A and B are shown apart, each in its own frame.
Chain A
């Protein structure tokens, strides 16, 4: 019940296209859903995050869509660029006394020029 399932495992998108990564969770106590971006040799970096009281959050070319009833959330990258090529992780936290993050398995995104 603590798992966060992420798909696809890898994704190839043409420059200018839309990249879509999906995540699903079971634990209804999760109340914070961040997405992290990781480049090779670097630590994960927060990209965008959402709370379940909103259905969508947009920051520049990055949008999170959240479906509370389906317990699913997704990351959309509009106008994908080669510089977006990285591994993306969704995560979830149940807040409370700790911020520990439960991560999805990651999606390796390659944006072809």
Chain B
């Protein structure tokens, strides 16, 4: 158990809908990262927050947004969902913002299925 929690575990929804994925980082970790894992794209970095502020952006679609709250939990919002958004979404956390060697601990993921 990494100490990172994600809810829900599974999510099934229809095209055009909006969903929110939630992540609670390990105790003491200030950075939260979101990754998308799909069969064709592999593990792709989406976005990083550090202590409530956006730190880095990766291949995140404009239909997707995220935020980190004062209690450090984070939410990833996916809107106008398309079939291609079906994937595993992982949250990871680390203590620091960008020390390079700071270990990222991954949660169990949320499996999103868009029908």
Q: Which residues of B contact A (CB under 8 A)?
A: 2, 4, 31, 33, 35, 42-45, 48, 55-56, 58, 90, 92, 94, 96-109
In the complex, A102 Cα to B45 Cα: how many Å? 7
Q: Which residue of B lies closest to A51 (CB)?
A: B101
In the complex, A41 Cα to B2 Cα: how many Å? 14
Supply 18 A–B pairs (Cβ within 8 Å), ascending by A. A41-B108, A43-B109, A44-B90, A45-B106, A46-B105, A89-B43, A94-B100, A95-B99, A97-B55, A97-B56, A98-B97, A98-B98, A99-B99, A101-B35, A103-B43, A105-B42, A106-B42, A106-B43
Partner of B2, one of A45, A51, A102: A45
Interface residue range, chain A: 20 to 34
Measured CB to CB, the closest approach of chain B to A97, in angstroms, equals: 4
Residues of B within 8 A of A94 (CB): 100
Measured CB to CB, the closest approach of chain A to B90, in angstroms, equals: 5
A58 interface residue, CB < 8 Å from B?
no
Residues of A within 8 A of B100 (CB): 31-32, 93-96, 99
What string of 1s and 0s marks CB contacts (under 8 Å) between A81-98 and chain B? Answer: 000000001000111111
A49 interface residue, CB < 8 Å from B?
yes
Residues of A within 8 A of B42 (CB): 103-106
Measured CB to CB, the closest approach of chain A to B91, in angstroms, equals: 8
